[in-house]
Amino acid sequence: MKFIESNFYRILAWGLAGLFFMLHYIVRVAPQEINPFLQVDFSLTMTQITLMQTSFLVSYITMQVPAGLLLDRYAPHRVLQGAVFLVLLSTFILYEANSFGLLLVSRVLLGLGSAFAFSGSVKIATLWFPRQFLGFLTSLTQVLGMIGAASQVLIDDALSIMSWRSAAGIYTLIMLAIWIVMMLVWQDHPDRDKVSHTRSTSYKAVLIDFAEAMKNQQTWLVALYTGFIFAPTLIFGESIGKNYLTAVLEDFTSHQDSTMISIIFVGFAVGGIFQGLLSDMLGTRRPSLFFSSAGSLLTFTTYLYAPINYYLLCLLCFLYGFANSGLVIGYALAGEINPRRISGAGIAFANMMSVLVGTILLSFMGMLLDYFKSVQISDKLAYEYTFAICPICLLISFVLAFYIHESFCRSVDERL
């Protein structure tokens, strides 16, 4: 048996893609920790800090659809090698940055490269593994991302012993090593000619395939589900959760705040594995959608408004993350509800919506907080009122789950 045909190579091929997704998440959440240092070193205003985050999100969202199209048309491992190089280049620019303009360029390149991380990992999984493993591998991919997101406490600890520029340099070297290994190890699928029908023969055909996916009402329902179920995690876990905790839970230290936020992603990682395996074993997807929405709504609402102690809050963070991990089942559905040849576009669209909904709401919440401040409402009440949007998002996702069809863990092609 050739090495490329072994199970070890299959795991290695997917594992490198999953590792990229994890590493992209580390630098994705890092700004919450390094922004104070950037403000001092570059004399940045909060408007400029916000613009940096927006530039990342806009480029990330904008590239989601092209990423899916490219992954469907070309060899996924070649596309991912280019994406890893973009992230590598972005962190090198961050390391060398001496102006606000270069910081913006770094964030834009990071968004462009990161857009391929998740959909590329799932695409490689569909190419190298039997279909029945898709739910588990999709979940495991998201788990790796959550491990990266949970690194916020470690980033905070690292910045206590080194400068942000040194940390960026170390990250750049790690990405360089990963990119070199990918270039040396990744090879074309041995049956590429046999599965060539799953790739579009021209860019025009790719656009036609994507338009076909968009005509599927289920594509929109699943994508909106991923957007609303993940919005509270993006808002609280990745963006302004620390601001909320500082204003509302004044008795806790900054380290305790970071710990609670990190625990959300630990719960997400554990729950992602459990829900992925259970979904594959039962051969159904919808039960996970309902559990995720209902469990997330109950735990997050309790976390926001119940007067409980620190350790119970940590437990609620874990349980919320565990329940919220049903998001990954939505990604699997996004591929299964469409023909296999356009599964990458469906997954990319769902991934795009999972960020887009939260980004729009985050901007609105920022304006709402400014309004409350202008009418002299206390910070504590302002954040409590504003964060009521998060439970509403989870309630909407629960309603959407009723309208999503069951795929029985099989693609449309296999069910026809």
| Region 351-375 average pLDDT | 84
- Cα gap 274→277, rounded to integer Å: 5
Q: pLDDT (tens digit, 9 = 90+) per residue, 42-91?
A: 887 766 777 787 788 889 988 877 887 788 777 888 889 999 999 999 99
Domains of the chain: 3-403 (1.20.1250.20)
Residue 413: its pLDDT value, please?
A: 61
Q: What is the pLDDT of residue 127?
A: 80
pLDDT value of residue 321: 94
Compute the C-alpha angle 285/29/275, nearest 5°.
15
- Dist CA 57 CA 80 (whole Å): 19
Q: Select from 212, 312, 211 the least CA-distant residue to 252.
A: 312
Contact 120, 67 (CB under 8 A): yes
Residue 342 confidence (pLDDT) above 70? yes
The amino acid at residue 327 is L
What length is written for the chain?
416
Q: Where are the strands (E) in 244-318, listed by range?
A: none
pLDDT digits (tens, 9 = 90+) for 294-313: 999 999 999 998 888 999 99
Lowest mean per-residue pLDDT among 170-184, 243-257, 384-398: 243-257
Residue 374, exposed/middle/buried by CB under 10 A (0-12, 13-18, 19+)?
exposed
155 versus 301: which is more confidently predicted?
Answer: 301
Q: How far is CA 365 from CA 20, 38, 92, 381, 389, in A?
A: 31, 24, 33, 13, 8
Write out pLDDT tens, residues 160-193: 889 999 999 999 999 999 999 988 887 766 555 4
Model pTM? Answer: 0.80
The pLDDT mean for the chain works out to 85
- The pLDDT score that the predictor gives to residue 193 is 45
Specify the pLDDT at position 205.
Answer: 66
Q: Among 19-23, 150-154, 200-204, 226-230, which stretch is predicted with the lowest mean pLDDT?
A: 200-204
- pLDDT over threshold 70, residue 322: yes
